């Protein structure tokens, strides 16, 4: 029970506790070495004593020298460890910045709602003329309360986009409707097959969310001709999602 009390530690204070342990270890070595040196001093330099002679003095001087070298080595290692930690922290910060920049660049390349409208009109005309189905998957991200920094939110959106892109076919297209809202157009895909695509997207989004659950998400599948009969209806569904309006029939994951 006592060890459990001492084992409790705030993760944010690990470095502070580590420094305290190093200081304690070095201080104890200094105290023990100094105390032993004081106890051994009379045997090395006082007369008469049972053990005397030059070899005793050499042993005493050697002990003091080794103690000083050990203390110096521990201090030098602690300084080196602190420098390495500072360097690792800088590299971690730099890597985080690169990931954020990559996510921002990806989001900049994603087509917006206007491009979706043009592509939807073209694909819908093709679906009607060839009597083929057309599906739309709308994805809305909901960020965790702990994700307050807009840069972290942007990174999460970029990670979600990358996870979904890996699950799509070459002829599929993904669009960024608004902040955290995506639309995925699936030509020649029936409603049941679009639901399978949504399931694959769900797996990818769960992985992108990470162990910290950076975001939750909602998906809706809209299919022509099962759910809508005109391109305008499908566009209205996408517009409602882009405007953060209430969706009907959403399934939370």
Q: What is the mean pLDDT of the chain?
A: 80
Tell the residue number behind the tokens 């307050």, with chain if given.
148
The predicted-structure confidence for 35-49, as pLDDT tens digits, reads as follows 777 666 665 565 555
CB-CB contact of 49 with 43 (8 Å):
yes
The residues with which 215 forms a beta bridge, in sequence order, are 143
- Which residue did the predictor score with more confidence, 3 or 25? 25
CATH class of 111-252: alpha beta
Q: Is the pLDDT of residue 212 over 60?
A: yes
Calculate mean pLDDT across residues 50-61: 65
172: pLDDT confidence band, cut at 50, 70 and 90? very high
Per-residue pLDDT, 222: 93
119: pLDDT confidence band, cut at 50, 70 and 90? very high
Per-residue pLDDT, 63: 73
User: How many residues make up the chain in this entry?
Assistant: 253
Per-residue pLDDT, 108: 85
Tell the residue number behind the tokens 């989004």, with chain if given.
205
Tokens of 3: 């060890």
Per-residue pLDDT, 17: 66
Tokens of 37: 């040196």
Strand 215-224 versus strand 251-252 pairing type: antiparallel
Tell the residue number behind the tokens 């920094």, with chain if given.
149
Q: Is the pLDDT of residue 19 over 80?
A: no
Cα 198 from Cα 87, distance rounded (Å): 42
Cα distance between the two ends of the chain? 40
Q: Is the pLDDT of residue 67 over 80?
A: no
Q: What is the DSSP string of the chain?
A: -HHHHHH---GGGHHHHHHHHHHHHHHHHHHHHHHHHHHHHHHHH-SS-SS-SHHHHHHHHHHHHHHHHHHHHHHHHHHHHHHHHHHHHHHHHHHHHHHHHHHHHHHHHS--HHHHHHHHHHHHHHHHHHT--EEEEEEEEEE-TT---HHHHHHHHHHHHHHHHTTS-TT-EEEEEETTEEEEEEET--HHHHHHHHHHHHHHHHHHHTTTT-EEEEEEEEEETTT-SSHHHHHHHHHHHHTT---SS-EE-
Per-residue pLDDT, 2: 40
Per-residue pLDDT, 39: 65
Per-residue pLDDT, 1: 46
Calculate mean pLDDT across residues 78-101: 83
Q: Taking the CB of residue 160, how many other CB atoms lie within 10 A of it? A: 24
**Percent above pLDDT 90 for the chain:** 28
Q: Is the pLDDT of residue 253 over 50?
A: no
Instruction: Report angle CA 7, 11, 17 to the nearest 5 degrees.
Output: 65
């Amino acid at each position: 029970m006592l060890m459990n009390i001492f084992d409790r530690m705030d993760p944010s204070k690990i470095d502070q506790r580590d420094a305290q342990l190093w200081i304690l270890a070095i201080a104890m070595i200094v105290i023990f070495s100094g105390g032993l040196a004081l106890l051994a001093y009379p045997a090395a330099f006082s007369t008469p004593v049972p053990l005397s002679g030059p070899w005793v003095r050499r042993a005493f001087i050697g002990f003091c020298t080794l103690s000083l070298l050990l203390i110096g080595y521990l201090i030098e290692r602690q300084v080196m460890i602190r420098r390495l930690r500072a360097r690792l922290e800088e590299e971690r910060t730099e890597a985080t910045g690169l990931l954020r920049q990559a996510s921002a660049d990806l989001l900049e390349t994603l087509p917006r709602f206007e491009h979706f409208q043009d592509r939807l009109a073209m694909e819908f005309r093709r679906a009607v003329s060839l009597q083929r189905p057309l599906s739309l998957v709308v994805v809305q991200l909901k960020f965790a309360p702990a994700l307050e920094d807009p840069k972290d939110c942007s990174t999460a959106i970029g990670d979600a986009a990358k996870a979904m892109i890996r699950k799509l076919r070459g002829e599929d297209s993904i669009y960024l409707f608004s902040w955290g809202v995506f639309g995925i157009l699936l030509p020649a895909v029936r409603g049941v097959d679009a639901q399978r695509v949504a399931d694959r997207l769900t797996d990818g989004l769960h992985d992108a969310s990470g162990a910290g659950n950076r975001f939750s998400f909602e998906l809706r599948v809209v299919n022509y001709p099962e759910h809508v009969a005109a391109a305008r209806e499908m566009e209205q569904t996408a517009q409602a999602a882009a405007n953060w309006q209430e969706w009907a029939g959403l399934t939370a994951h």
